[in-house]
Amino acid sequence: MMFVPHVIDGVEQESSDGASFPSVDPATRAPHASVALGSAADADRAVDAARRASDEGPWPRMGFAERGAVLHRLADLVVAHTDELALADTTDMGKPIDDARGKDVPRTAQNLRFFADHARLAHGDVLPMDTGHHAYSRFPPAGVVAAIAPWNFPLMLASWKVAPALAWGNTVVLKPAEDSPTSATVVARLALEAGMPPGVLNVLHGYGPDSAGAALTDDPRVDRITFTGESATGRVISAAAARNLVPVSLELGGKGANLVFDDADLAGAVDWSIKAVFTNAGQVCLAGSRLYVQRGVCEEFVERFVAAAGALVVGDPKVTGTQIGPLASEAHHAKVRGYLDGVERSGGKIRAGGEGEGWTVTPTVVLDAPPDAPVQREEVFGPVVTVTPFDTEAEAVRAADDTRYGLNAMVFTENLSRAHRVAGALRAGTVWVNCFFVRDLRAPFGGMGDSGVGREGGDFSREFFTEPQAVVMAIRPDDGSDVR
């Protein structure tokens, strides 16, 4: 069986005590790899390597152009290793291979290139003061970044953290999710090949609580913690960060509302709404899992939506053409099934789907679930959508905002003023109008309420991954010259 090692200080290695854990392929429900199980001692070594690379190594001291060139070479290598990286994620967590190859790998390369260029081209501020001084801003690296990644987009979401951290001159300890360890080790290997110095990108495997994850977030030598995952975990990590007074960026759960007005282009709305909730089998923080449809078009929308959901290809994620693979783990499958089993008890009914072999769940449409039903309130993180009719715009906005989450929302309408009005009224970090998932990497990305703390992307990532510094200079008055 394949062994997935840590990469610490440029060396692929086992855990110091030799411990390991299995990575299970959700398609076969059997282990396919053995993974180094990091302990507190391994976390200590990883932070130590990152600390030394930050305090003494060349990486923070290189120019942006030189660092950027390494990141661009890494992006090239990521693209050249598309098959290996895509298969790693698909085998670890069951995402369709077409998505892994066609979306996750290219987006990973794009993240590396974008943040390399963004850092190289960024401006600081110069503040001409009228008191005989001037001030300017600098953006030195924060130091050592602990990046804790989830399993739903293993490669892509890890790169969303690692790329800006590295571009701004930090060193990193990346702890991938225990359900999706493999691609991170491959990327760390490729980073060395691209010319990144040892200790700059370290990968530490293991679990969260009482394991590698917690040891990492508790280490006082860490300068920044960036985390994507469940809101409950975000609270625990935030408390660890508070003990060391370390800034933390949290991208947490979501319960995206998707509002379809009766003036919408219905075919487009159906198409995007399907993608919004069934991509990656719904294991997406941005999933549009609550559909609200204006009453006049609701019946027709549901007919078309159910037909489109039923046409999605469910099957083996390693086979090209598959659109819905199994859920990522046995525990996660049990959690999603628990929500489906509770639908009728809470007053809703399953209009379509809700079946599936092994850890697969077929695309599921739930009708009539009351607003307080768990399937309406909690992040299911599976291919499950509730559909609720509404009458007025105000009612739609109220329903959309009736959640503890606030990551994203979608609006489908052909009415320009309504689009702006509703987008402005929604409490969500991102609002998509007549589209979904489209990203400009300069835009703020993050959530309100239980969906997170802070924003990343473009200048927002710079702010988090640097220690912005002000330099204020006195301009001395004339000492004999006649310049005024």
Pairing of strands 384-390, 364-367: parallel
Smallest separation (angstroms) from ligand NAI to the CB of 111? 16
Distance in angstroms (rounded) separating the CA atoms of residues 90 and 88: 6
Q: How far is the CB of 469 from ligand NAI (least distance, A)?
A: 29
Q: State the Cα–Cα distance between residues 123 and 111, nearest whole angstrom.
A: 20
Residue nearer to ligand NAI on the CB measure, 35 or 116: 35
The CB-of-210 to ligand NAI minimum distance in angstroms stands at: 8
In 10 A of CB 46, how many CB atoms?
A: 29
Rounded least distance, CB 65 to ligand NAI, Å: 33
Residue among 5, 301, 292, 49 nearest 172 (CA): 49
- Which residue lies nearer to ligand NAI by CB, 149 or 264? 149
CA atoms of 263 and 285, how far apart (whole Å): 28
CA distance 95 to 111: 20
**Residue of this chain nearest to ligand NAI (CB atom):** 208
Burial class (CB in 10 A: 0-12, 13-18, 19+), 367: middle
| 337, 343, 344, 346: CA torsion to nearest 10 | 140
With respect to ligand NAI, which residue has the nearer C-beta, 152 or 322?
Answer: 152
285: annotated active-site residue? yes
Q: Residue 242 corresponds to which tokens in the numbers above?
A: 């508070």
The residue among 108 and 413 lying less far from ligand NAI, judged by its C-beta, is 108
Contacts of residue 335, defined as CB under 8 A and 6 or more positions apart, other chains included, come to 381, 382
* Residue 417: count of CB within 10 angstroms of its CB: 8
Q: Which structure tokens are listed for 386? A: 């509730």
What's the DSSP call for residue 344? T
Give the Å distances, CA to CA, from 440 to 39, 90, 261, 466. 38, 26, 26, 21
| Residue 20 beta carbon to ligand NAI: minimum distance, rounded to whole angstroms | 16
* Local structure of residue 265 (DSSP, 8 states): -
Identity of the residue, 96 or 254, whose beta carbon is nearer to ligand NAI in the bound complex: 254
Set 178, 251, 379, 456: catalytic member: 251
Contact 338, 317 (CB under 8 A): no
C-alpha 146/C-alpha 167 separation (Å) is 15
| Shortest CB 476 distance to ligand NAI, Å | 52
Q: Which is nearer to ligand NAI, 305 or 405 (CB)?
A: 405
Q: Which is nearer to ligand NAI, 369 or 380 (CB)?
A: 380
Based on CB atoms, which residue is closest to ligand NAI, 191 or 214?
214
End-to-end CA gap in the chain: 77
Q: How far is the CB of 478 from ligand NAI (least distance, A)?
A: 59
- The 8-class DSSP code of residue 162 comes to H
Cα atoms in the Cβ-side hemisphere of radius 13 Å centred on 23 = 29
Give the whole-angstrom CA distance, residue 466 versus residue 468.
6
Under the rule (CB under 6 A), what is the footprint of ligand NAI? 148-152, 175, 177-178, 207-209, 213-214, 217, 228-230, 233, 236-237, 252-254, 285, 332, 335, 379, 381
Q: Which is nearer to ligand NAI, 233 or 466 (CB)?
A: 233
Q: Which of 56, 84, 178, 285 is catalytic?
A: 285
Using CA atoms, how far apart are residues 311 and 323, in angstroms rounded to an integer? 10
> Least distance in Å: CB of 12 to ligand NAI?
20
Pairing type for strands 224-228 and 144-148 reads parallel
CB of 217 to ligand NAI, least distance (A): 5
Please list the residues that pair with 201 across neighbouring strands: 172
Catalytic residues: 251, 285
